[in-house]
Chains A and B, each alone.
Chain A
Amino acid sequence: MSERRSVAIGFIPLVDAAALLVAADKGFFAAEGLDVRLVREVSWANMRDKLAVGLFDAAHLLAPMAVAANLGLAQVKVPLVAPVNLATNGNAIAVSIALYEALGAFDGALAHPSASARALAQVAQARKAKGLEPLTLGMTFPFSTHNYQLRYWLAEGGVDPDEDVRIVALPPSYMVENLARGRLDGFCVGAPWSSMAVEAGIGAILHFGCEIFARAPEKVLALRESAVAEDPGLAAALIRAVVRGAAYAEDAGNRGEVAELLARPEHVGVDAEIVRRVLDGRLRRSAGAEASPDHRYLILGKDGATRPEPAQAAWIYAQMLRWGQTRFSSAALQTARGVMRPDLYDAAMGGKPDAVSPAAIPAFAGPDFRDEDIGAYLAGFAIGRKF
């Protein structure tokens, strides 16, 4: 056998890097002839830049960031491709205890996102009337599903995310500290960071990401388009190893081992029990509460979730349009769709999986998304831009 190819892959300490961490630990990359070095990163901007200049061969990346890169919106002009999804869903919206109580005071039943968003609108208005600083809410990056989940939810309650609250970008692992210091009133972030706030007794989870969008594209493994063109074998090997890693991590019999692996200080660096609850989809919404089971909380590979779908990129593009991050053109829509590469996936896997990601990305309220008519979709919202 020839010498193994050395590959550097960046990751951010999050449970949704599980497929990568497992594939490296269980030898799935090695079985594909790859000698993978995983490098932990501190910011999404670093991830993008190191991938662009070639210090990384592949990266754990926010799906909207890959789309933004190809649209020329994300600083770097290096075309990227996403041949495999690393995660679907996995985020949660958490708020400080003070805000949780304030929301509850307005409306006892916060279980439905429409109710909690309306309650938040009242708190935001009350603060404005008193001349107080607006509520400050954290998310991880302007081009992130977290940003779109937070904004979608707020807008359904009548909150204009650009006018009525202040939205700031912070790396995932810094959310809890900022909530504790009162610099944030809430945030939308990937696991395990909402659970960390809950366990520390400083926050409570209002909604899981999957309660906002049932099946939202979250993270992809991104590669430079040029690297894939030069060496299609690399992408194929990575796809197969990641799909194996995702399946291994999702197998109920392996979750204890996977939780221990992710918990290590050099990986995510949190308590294994918390990681386990994320993998099981049994998060606690508040300290001491019973777990709220939801098998959709974080989807790694099940139901064909690893296969990237152009419709997912179209949905991301629609969210960008809604929040004024870009302007519509049918050429840009095609560019966006082209980021997702099911052709590479199918070639590597020897065909389509039995189940594939549905084109629809159902939300708790608002118009249905149809990627063939983004204009009609955007026209259906009271808040946000149209085209």
Chain B
Amino acid sequence: MKIVIVDESPVRSAILEEGLRLAGFTRIERIGEMHNLLRRIYEIDPEVILIDLENPSRDTLEQMFQMSRIVRRPIAMFVDQSDAASIEASVEAGVSAYIVDGLKKERIKSILDLCVSRFNAFSKLQDELARAKSDLEGRKDIDRAKGLLMQAKNLSEDEAYKLMRGAAMREKKKIVDIARAIVSAAELLR
């Protein structure tokens, strides 16, 4: 079975491809460049097309199914409403599937479920990355604020940290917010 993944995110499409390969699907093509999308799909002539919902090329893709010159017209998974829960899960996860008519339902469901879990894993990964990045930036601000306090008030590193922690507790704020306030105040006063 030929599967095409249309996704501008190379990482996410790689994650999805890996999952599909592990599930035993071997004929997988990835399209990351949206120009000439329709021509590429005509050439590949897939049985299943997977596309992420942030992709504005969905409208272009659907136009293709309106054209009479293609023999095999893929249809959206939504046409068959027998499994509303898994359709809803896929829309929420951000992936959509188009399938040529006549494909066995069980096989579609397994592909769809796989897409959902891989897409969700990818967003979790992204969230974690974003959190790690913001933690790192927070730590940098705390270090800068500590340095400013040590210099301005002639404190040790430990004393500077305790001073910020005390202020955070009194004002019911996070220590990183106190640190950022110190850094921006210092920039204004410079």
Q: Which of A's residues lie within 8 Å of B, judged by CB?
A: 42-46, 49-50, 52-55, 75-78, 140-142, 168-171, 173-174, 183, 324-325
Contacts and interface: CB of A to CB of B under 8 A. Distances in A.
B59 A43 contact: yes
B91 A75 contact: no
A64 to B, nearest CB: 12
A170 B37 CA distance: 12
B152 interface: no
Contacts of A46: 53, 58
Contacts of A168: 38, 60, 63
B25 interface: no
Contact of A45 (B59, B79, B88, B92): B59
Contact of A141 (B55, B59, B76): B59
Contacts of B81: 77-78
B111 interface: no
Q: Contact size class for B?
A: 20 to 34
Given A49-B78, A49-B91, A53-B84, A170 B35 contact: no
Given A75-B76, A75-B79, A44 B91 contact: no
B87 to A, nearest CB: 6
A43 B79 contact: no
A170 B59 contact: yes
What 3 pairs between A and B have smallest CB-CB spacing?
A169-B63, A75-B76, A171-B56
A76 B79 contact: yes
B24 to A, nearest CB: 28
Mostly, the A contact residues are: loop
Interface in B47-96: 53-63, 65-66, 68, 75-76, 78-79, 81, 84, 87-88, 91-92, 96
Given A42-B54, A49-B76, 19 more contacts: A43-B55, A46-B53, A50-B91, A53-B78, A54-B88, A55-B91, A75-B76, A75-B79, A76-B76, A76-B79, A77-B78, A141-B62, A142-B62, A168-B38, A168-B60, A169-B62, A169-B63, A173-B56, A174-B56
Contacts of B38: 168
A23 to B, nearest CB: 26
12 contacts: A43-B55, A43-B56, A45-B59, A46-B58, A50-B91, A53-B88, A55-B92, A75-B78, A75-B79, A78-B81, A141-B63, A142-B63
Interface of B: 35, 38, 53-63, 65-66, 68, 75-76, 78-79, 81, 84, 87-88, 91-92, 96
Contacts of B53: 42-43, 46, 49
A90 to B, nearest CB: 18
Contacts of B79: 75-77
A53 B87 contact: yes
A62 B71 CA distance: 28
A55 B90 CA distance: 12
Nearest to B78: A76
A183 B37 CA distance: 13
B56 A75 contact: no
A142 B66 contact: yes
Contact of B59 (A53, A78, A171, A324): A171
Contacts of A54: 88
A62 to B, nearest CB: 10
A171 to B, nearest CB: 4
A102 B67 CA distance: 29
B12 to A, nearest CB: 16
A325 B35 contact: no
A88 B128 CA distance: 46
Nearest to A75: B76
A142 B66 CA distance: 7
A187 to B, nearest CB: 13
A134 to B, nearest CB: 14
Contacts of B88: 53-55
Contacts of A76: 76, 78-79
Nearest to B35: A183
A171 B65 CA distance: 17
B53 to A, nearest CB: 5
Contacts of A52: 78
A183 B35 CA distance: 9
A173 B56 CA distance: 10
Contacts of B35: 183
Contacts of B57: 43
A42 B55 CA distance: 7
B57 to A, nearest CB: 8
Contacts of A171: 56, 59
B68 to A, nearest CB: 7
Contact of B62 (A53, A75, A174): A75
Contacts of A78: 81
A140 B59 contact: yes
A170 B84 CA distance: 28
Contacts of B66: 142, 325
A267 B81 CA distance: 33
A169 B79 CA distance: 21
B103 to A, nearest CB: 16
A55 B93 CA distance: 12
